Amino acid sequence: MPQSATLITDPSPAPLSGDVSFTPSCHGLLDLLLAVCDGRSDQGRDHPVAVVLALVAAATVAGLKGYTAISGWVADVPAEILDGLYLRVEARPAGRPSRSTLWRVCTDTDGDVLDAVIAEWTTAQRTSTGEQAPTSTDTVTQVRLDGKTVRGAVNADGEQLHLLSALAGSPGPDPAALVIAQAPTDGAKTREPETARALLETLDLRGVTITADALHTVKATAELIHRQGGHFVLPVKENRPALFEALDALPWATTVIGYESTEAGHGRSTRRTIRVLPAPAGLPFPHVNQVWLIERYVTGSDGKQSAAAQLGVTSHPADAAGPAEIAAFNRGQWSIESLHFIRDTCYREDHSRVRTRSGPRVLASLRNLAINALRLAGRTDITEATRWANRNMTRPFTILGLTG
């Protein structure tokens, strides 16, 4: 199910209060979940996969974390909502699925199909707000790539699950950015670039700017982004020695600051500056039009100071992205770190001991779905939003478009 990264950009719907009003699009979540299989035969099965996953998704919107907590929450779901889910998938209401049923479905679900379903649902909900889908010239979209290790999910071989996510939204720090794709890496974290290219091939990158950490500053990735009509803003570190040395040798000391910003908060003051130069001839990296140096100076409340610098490249020409825009893209990459922080703090993902088969990936995917759904409902304070959703048993289902 290829997805368009340009379909889920700003603005977000207005924040909701009290009971949620939500109109499902033609791509309803329950309908899409019918495509997900857990390998079981339909014959003699009381609880369809779509219904079980819908219940787990709603519990995740309400902030529940493990199978035991989720099954306890499902036990309190109003009968009319529960029966409605079964009837909408043309199944006879069969009561509440047990903890073992929830576990069995989650551990055997096809993670690739589930992630594709979540991406399609997210895109559909974004466009169902009544906005026209933006074209490549209407808006600027940033897609941030980053991987996260689910530290508690260790398989029989001692390997931890590592998932690469793509987060799309407006350039710069965007608390309403949405996960549009996720894929597991094949082995170590160092395989991330290969996973990223496979993931990017499923997206429409026309007019999209890709950002990532220095692990993804790879020629093959830059070539793919360029071939698909996108742009990149990537940092350069010593892991690319020839490129790093070429940038480090440029006359930065005599290059004027193109843009700077200062902000205060969390007991410190931070000043950021960026200097930009045209790409020099013979640079050992493809499709680069500009190169940049960002410097950050931090002063703590105790007067102590620290400084850091980062070199980087971008395919954007100067008339399309100046120093301020490049700086915004660079800062925007941290929005995906915020996503990982939410999964670790609100959902305590790194402390989870869910580890059987596809269970860790499925629960991680449903956390992405829950965060997307809450953000689409206008809530960016995810921890408090899960508490808000949990105070009314119908809210999680309404937020996901699973009622009516």
Question: Closest by alpha carbon to 210, among 184, 235, 183?
Answer: 235
Q: How many whole angstroms separate alpha carbon 185 and alpha carbon 344?
A: 19
Burial of 349 (0-12, 13-18, 19+ CB in 10 A): buried
> What pLDDT is attached to residue 355?
61
Q: How many whole angstroms separate alpha carbon 81 and alpha carbon 220?
A: 49
For 155-159, 197-201, 219-223, 342-346, which range has the lowest pLDDT when averaged over its residues? 155-159
Burial 218-237 (b: 16+ CB within 10 A, else e): beebbebbeeeebbbbbbbe
> What pLDDT is attached to residue 101?
93
Q: What is the average pLDDT across 52-67?
A: 95
Q: What is the average pLDDT across 229-245?
A: 97
359-376 helix and 49-61 helix, angle to the nearest 10 degrees: 60
> What pLDDT is attached to residue 17?
35
CA 57, 63, 69, 72 dihedral sign is negative
**15-39 tens-digit pLDDT:** 333 443 333 444 599 999 999 987 7
Q: Are 276 and 292 in contact (CB under 8 A)?
A: yes
Q: Are 333 and 166 in contact (CB under 8 A)?
A: no
DSSP string, 48-73: -HHHHHHHHHHHHHTT--SHHHHHHH
For 150-159, 183-192, 289-298, 368-377, which range has the lowest pLDDT when averaged over its residues? 150-159
Q: Scan for tokens 């048993």, then name that residue.
A: 393
313: part of which helix (H) or strand (E)?
strand 305-314
SS3 133: coil
Q: What is the average pLDDT across 166-191?
A: 89
**125-143 tens-digit pLDDT:** 877 653 333 333 346 699 9
Residue 52's pLDDT band (boundaries 50, 70, 90)?
very high
* Adjacent-strand bridge partners of 276: 292
Structure tokens of 8?
Answer: 């889920």
Q: How many whole angstroms separate alpha carbon 120 and alpha carbon 116?
A: 6
